[in-house]
Structures are given as structure tokens and as C-alpha cells.
Chains A and B, each alone.
Chain A
Amino acid sequence: MEINTLKNNKFVRLFIIVFVIILVFIVTYSIYQMSYRAGKIQIVINTVPTDAKITLNDDEYKNGENYIVAGEYKIIVQKDGFKTIEISQDIIKPGDEVDIALEAESDSAKDWASKNPQAYSNFANIVDKKTNKDGAAFRTLNPIVNKLPYTNYLFSIGYKLDSSDKTDNSIIITINASEQYRQAAILQVKQWGYNLADYNYEFINFDNPFKI
């Protein structure tokens, strides 16, 4: 009976020690993570092959989730046998993803690529999903793009991204029409039910005489 109690006490003590060690580890790890992530943003880097060397301004990062300070980066993704991809002056902001698939160059790399088609198709799926998601948000912000491009015998209406908006969510409506039909093109936008003032416009082959 006494032996059993002693055994039990020993077990409880061991349990408490293990529990305290785990707790200390969790707290220390959390503090480390919090201090490491402070002031940084989460970005996801998807590469094929997944073990490619990824450097952002000479600091090495891994495939998957990473934490970096938002700003301008030179991104290099490389792996022996594959064509190195280098993107300079890329502005990384919250919510960004970096998706890079390396093209196989050497025979061994081509052999790897042919034996791992799944790696490339998974990558393509990730990019497709992201593009669709971004596309839906873009169309919600700029519903007129659902009608564009529009062309008839008299004029054409299209759009392009507004480079002054770094979020890539603003557009400029482009109207290509002779003087005779410019008002008709404007009327077309109104007839679709859009508020003219909501967009910026660029009239092709038109110089505004009042813009001095």
C-alpha cells in the first residue's frame, strides 16, 4: 500500500515537472514568435521545386509562410539545374503571395520535372485559385469590367489598370471613338447604369483643348 502511494507520488511529481517544462517551452516559444513577428507581415511563398533557395534582399526564406517587414525587395529563387528567377524592386505588402515556378534547364532537372508533374499542377492550382479570388474582388470593385471590352461600329470601350493605384484595384476606362461618336460612347456607359463619376477615363486620339 505504502509502495503504491510512493509510486503514485513519484508519478504525479514527474507529471508536474513535464507539464511545467512544456508550459515554459510554449510560453518561451510564443514570446519568441511574437517578438520575431512584431512589425512584420505574413506572406506566402510558393515555389516549384519547393526546396528552391529563396532570398529576399539577401536573406534566405522558406517555401510557405514567412514573416517580413513590408517594403521593397529583390527576390531571387534558384536551384541547381533550374533557370534562376530574379525580380528586382518588388513591393511586398500585407496579403501578398510570391508564386514562382522554376523552369528546368539541365537534364537532371528536366528528369525531375517529368517525374513530378504533380508539383507543377499543384502550383498551378494555387495560382489559379488566387487569380480567381483576386478577379472576383476586382470585379466587385469595378463592376463595369463585366461589360468590357465593348465594341460596335462606332466606338469601342475598354479598360486598363490605373498605374497610380498601387493596389491594382483601380481602372481607367479607355474610349476609342471619333469626335462624332464620343458622346455616344459616354451615353453607352450611362445606359449600362454606371455612374460616370465613379471612373477615370482616357479618350484615345483625343487632346483636350482646355488642358493647358
Chain B
Amino acid sequence: MKKKIITISIIIIAAVGLLIGLNYFLSLRDITFKLSTDVSEITIYKKANFENKKNPIKISSNQTIRLQTGDYIIVPSGEKIASNQINLTITKNAEVEINPNYSANYLNSLYAEAKTSIYQILVAKYPDIINNYSLQTGQLFIKGEWFGGLLVNIKSDRDSIKDCFKFIAHKENNVWQIVNYPDLILSQNVYKTVPAEIINTVNNFIAEN
């Protein structure tokens, strides 16, 4: 009788173990991570383990790994990039491109050179009026290929608030170009190719007195 109970218990435990193993095996998916050249490493956490930084998986080159379905948080690292966390939900085999924006610090280091180039473009494009304006505020976005700026009228007769023109420049093949033309407000409908986050930031630029 005792033997029977032990045998049945073993069978039940083995069956449960088999089911758990099978469930784990069936929940695995092939995830191919493709890291942009400026990403030196990514650290992958299960969402539940992120706070305690438990069981991290580190990847430093393009590779395919098997992960269970579920929610994950990826933290990229690299000299130039922002290490903002990236949320990932795995439901099926997938290819995940890790291509984070440059960090604010790195974008700031590129700013002065970009501003000079863009001002030269503005001078060439608007030679008759550009001297009336000062490129007062500017910011680089994403990978430094987008620039938003604020031109403030410095020659107006009025002492009080003057017109401020916002504009966006885009670098393609290493050449800066002004998108559309500077305007008082940038509408998404007009700047369809420009990411919304850039337009919204530029629209909020305020002239300094």
C-alpha cells in the first residue's frame, strides 16, 4: 500500500514537473536583437525583476536568444546614447532593433557645429531678411539629424514682444536643409515627415527678452 502511494506520488510529481517543463519550453521564443553601431551593450530584465535588477541578460552584439513570452525592460548603454529604458513585450518570434536616441549630453556636444551650419543655410536662403533675426534657441533631436530653432526679430521698432519664427532643419547625406520655411506655429499637417515630439518641443520654444 505504502509502495503504491509512493509510486502514485512520484508519477504525479513527474507529471507536474513535465507539464511545468513543457509549459516553459512552449513559452520560449527566438528573439533576434539588432544593435545599432553606437550601442555597446544591452541589459535585458524581466519586467518583474527590473526593480531589483535580478537575473539580467547582457548582449553586446547582434544575436538571437530564446526568451519566455512576457514583458521585458531593456536598458541600452553606449558612449553617445541615452540609456532610457525600452519596454518590450514578447508574444512570438521577433526581430528587435535597438536604436536609441543620442543622449542630451552628446547632442549638446554636436550643437554648436550644427547651429553654425544651419545659420549659414539660413543666410544663404534668406539673405535679405536674416540679419533682422537672431537664432536664439535651438536643439538637436534623435541622432542629431533633426534641428529645431527659434528665430527672434531683433530689428523690430517695437520694444515689446516681437514675432518669433520656429523652424526645423533636417540633415540628409550630411547636408542640412530647412524643412518648409520658418513660421509662427508649426502644424503637424504641414510638417508631416517630422516626428511629432520634435514639432511639439519646437512649438514650445519661448523667446528670451
The residues of A with any CB-CB pair to B shorter than 8 Å are: 179-184, 186, 190, 195-201, 203, 206, 208-212
**Judging by beta carbons under 8 Å apart, are A180 and B184 in contact?**
no
**Judging by beta carbons under 8 Å apart, are A180 and B185 in contact?**
no
Query: Using Cβ atoms and an 8 Å threshold, which residues of chain B touch A195?
Result: 200
**Judging by beta carbons under 8 Å apart, are A201 and B185 in contact?**
yes
Taking the nearest CB of chain A, how far is it from the CB of B201, in angstroms? Answer: 10
Taking the nearest CB of chain A, how far is it from the CB of B144, in angstroms? Answer: 22
The residues of B with any CB-CB pair to A shorter than 8 Å are: 126, 129, 132, 156, 158, 160-165, 167, 181-191, 196, 199-200, 203-204, 207
Query: Using Cβ atoms and an 8 Å threshold, which residues of chain A touch B158?
Result: 179-180
**Judging by beta carbons under 8 Å apart, are A197 and B187 in contact?**
yes
* 21 A-B pairs with C-beta separation under 8 A: A179-B158, A180-B160, A180-B161, A181-B161, A182-B163, A183-B161, A186-B185, A196-B187, A196-B203, A197-B185, A197-B186, A197-B191, A197-B200, A198-B187, A198-B188, A200-B187, A203-B184, A209-B129, A210-B126, A210-B167, A210-B181
Provided the pairs A180-B160, A184-B161 are in contact, do residues A196 and B185 lie with their beta carbons within 8 angstroms? yes
Taking the nearest CB of chain A, how far is it from the CB of B123, in angstroms? Answer: 13
Q: Which of B132, B160, B163 counts the most A-chain CB atoms under 10 A from its CB?
A: B163
Query: Using Cβ atoms and an 8 Å threshold, which residues of chain A touch B132?
Result: 209
Number of A-B contacts defined by CB within 8 Å: 64
**Judging by beta carbons under 8 Å apart, are A199 and B187 in contact?**
yes
Query: Using Cβ atoms and an 8 Å threshold, which residues of chain B touch A212?
Result: 126, 181
Provided the pairs A200-B189, A210-B181, A211-B181 are in contact, do residues A183 and B164 lie with their beta carbons within 8 angstroms? yes
**Judging by beta carbons under 8 Å apart, are A208 and B181 in contact?**
yes
Taking the nearest CB of chain A, how far is it from the CB of B195, in angstroms? Answer: 11
In the A-B complex, the 9 residue pairs with the smallest Cβ-Cβ separation, listed nearest first, are A197-B188, A210-B182, A196-B203, A210-B181, A197-B199, A183-B161, A209-B129, A200-B187, A196-B185
Complex Cα–Cα for A159 and B156 (A): 28
Taking the nearest CB of chain A, how far is it from the CB of B4, in angstroms? Answer: 67
Taking the nearest CB of chain A, how far is it from the CB of B27, in angstroms? Answer: 41
List the A residue with the shortest CB-CB distance to B187.
A200
Taking the nearest CB of chain B, how far is it from the CB of A209, in angstroms? Answer: 5
